[in-house]
Structure 1
Amino acid sequence: MHTRRDTRLPADRPDIRLIVTDMDGTLLDADGNVPAGLWPLLDELRGRGIVFSPASGRQYATLAHLFEGVDAGMVYIAENGALVVRDGVELSSDPLDPAVSARLVTRVRQLAEQGGDVGVVVCGKHSAYTERGDEAFLAEVRKYYRAHRLVDDATAVDDEIIKVAVLDFGGAEGSAPALAEFSDTHQVVVSGEHWIDVMNRTADKGAAVRRLQRQMGIGPEQTMAFGDYLNDLEMLDAADWSFAMANAHPEILGRARHTAPAHTDDGVLRTIKDVLGL
């Protein structure tokens, strides 16, 4: 762990080999779209031998759709680090015990029976699965899980489960304590205003970045990372060039070494250009 030491950028250009960025509240604009300026920047980065890596709680299918046709050499860190894919090939994954997934589904069912406006998304390698089928819930699910199926029993899906996500319309930070029984053995991460992700303790964006660094033969000093929310903490720790967005959660602002302009102000793109001198 490190804390922010200096928000000023040095005059010397660093030898960056890997750029990792969160999506929602970080790279994506206020409307949830990839900024148009990223497309020519990707060509520039590829020409310089720099790997670009979207790192998100979103599933791989959703990320791959966003960058379809322009993702040669790109590394997708999906499901908050539980699945990493490059050029269609899985680099790493960290599956959940099916019994744990089933216990989580049962717990969320209980919360719903007690009056909570909640729903569960069981995240497999091939699809996401949900038992709740009302349009308000599915509209939120579609934003992050392009491949999703409505099932009668989410404890009995035929897939390798890598994460369980809970959507709470009442606010994720308030409902996270209801999942405290899992926090001794697993990660229970508030990944957005209404989302909680539960994964293996060994699965997070930071662990995925460190594995990728080893595979690439690079270190934190050659890595840039951008984030805005609590599920980005470990990822920022894995990069010497760590940037909190100006709109970030206070804990992120206190953890990153540098600050970037807000996601509504093209903060990721502007910072990459400034640091690399583009």
Structure 2
Amino acid sequence: MKKGELDMIQLIATDMDGTLLDDEKRLPPQLPALLEELYRRDITFAVASGRSHMMLTNLFGELAEEIIFICDNGACVMYPHEAPMLHSLPKEVIRQTLDACHQLSTAVPVLCGFHHIYYPENNNAAMQREIQRYYRDPQVVPYDMLYAVDEPILKIALCDTNGPTREAYPAMRDALGDKYELLISGDCWMDIMCKGITKGAALRELQERMGITPAETMAFGDYDNDITMLQCAEFSYAMENASDRVKLQARHTAPANTKNGVVRVLCETLGIHPESL
């Protein structure tokens, strides 16, 4: 990038898993000092993830107080010191999804509310570990009890350790058609949200609210649910470990998440020596 281009950046948005986090799901140790430098330069930092706000705010701890969180792929957006903006699914689509999912051989539905996470009892230890990697204190209930959950549900995540593209995604497409957002969000995951709810839509709303253009925006991602976000940023980065589909949508490539790629690109962009952080 040229010096003039670097001075233009006003907003940085990053995915979490496979992007900002390493493979042990840890934040970069340089992040607190880097965020201080971003704030000093009046650059806004936003996290855009399929994870719930409970998991994200717990992970960031005290740092969370000044971060903008686009959670549940955009179904929950949290600005510092403001009430969250929520987009909940109609009860009918929850029922349809539960009905369809009950017929699948491996996929398990995870109901994501703002306050609680719910998933059905099962004997698949690998699936239980996978769910608990991404969701904090989930409530395990009999399958029939999922229909009785009263809390508004922002997103339904389907965990399928055989991969959602084989069975879960086609089944949900048959059940729901194109009336809702169906996104492959990981090797074992797909997500269902209200139509028009994506990371990209949330990032565009953030840009409009702050008067920031795509030419002033930098974004990082690695999976299909990041594509709409990358399309909102002129400085779009696919991680080295990203899928080919994502790389085709990004203008640049960042080192892999295991190589601290986001921090390395930001330090290079801002003229910061990583050793000084």
- Tell me if both proteins adopt one fold, taking TM over 0.5 as the criterion: yes
Q: What is residue 160 of structure 1 aligned with on the other side? A: 152
Task: Tell whether 2:258 aligns with 1:258.
Answer: no
Quote the offset at 1:133 in angstroms.
4.3
Following the alignment from structure 1 to structure 2, what is the Cα–Cα distance between the partners of residues 146 and 272?
A: 29
Task: Tell whether 2:104 aligns with 1:104.
Answer: no
Following the alignment from structure 2 to structure 1, what is the Cα–Cα distance between the partners of residues 156 and 202?
A: 18
Contact map agreement 1:23 1:55 (CA 8 A) in 2: yes
SS of equivalent residue, structure 1 residue 67: helix
Deviations 1:234-254 (A, max 9, x none): 000111111011111101101
Following the alignment from structure 1 to structure 2, what is the Cα–Cα distance between the partners of residues 232 and 133?
A: 30
Deviations 1:167-199 (A, max 9, x none): 011112212112112241111111000001011
Task: Tell whether 2:47 aligns with 1:54.
Answer: yes
Q: What is residue 123 of structure 1 aligned with on the other side? A: 112
Q: What is residue 265 of structure 2 aligned with on the other side? A: 271
1:10-89 superposed matches below 5 A: 10-12=2-4, 13-87=6-80, 89=82
SS of equivalent residue, structure 2 residue 8: coil
Quote the offset at 1:89 in angstroms.
2.8
Task: Tell whether 2:83 aligns with 1:90.
Answer: yes
Quote the offset at 1:11 in angstroms.
3.7
Which stretch shows the higher mean deviation, 195-204 or 152-161?
A: 152-161
Following the alignment from structure 1 to structure 2, what is the Cα–Cα distance between the partners of residues 88 and 126?
A: 18
Quote the offset at 1:137 in angstroms.
2.7
Following the alignment from structure 2 to structure 1, what is the Cα–Cα distance between the partners of residues 130 and 81?
A: 26
Aligned length: 266
Q: Extract unaligned runs of 5+ from structure 1.
A: 1-8
* Paired residue type of 2:241: N
CA RMSD of aligned residues (A): 1.4
Task: Tell whether 2:211 aligns with 1:217.
Answer: yes
Quote the offset at 1:22 in angstroms.
0.5
Following the alignment from structure 1 to structure 2, what is the Cα–Cα distance between the partners of residues 105 and 90?
A: 30
TM-score relative to the length of structure 2? 0.92
SS of equivalent residue, structure 2 residue 83: strand
TM-score relative to the length of structure 1? 0.91
Task: Tell whether 2:126 aligns with 1:136.
Answer: yes
Quote the offset at 1:212 in angstroms.
0.9
SS of equivalent residue, structure 2 residue 37: helix
Contact map agreement 1:61 1:147 (CA 8 A) in 2: no
Q: What is residue 229 of structure 1 aligned with on the other side? A: 223
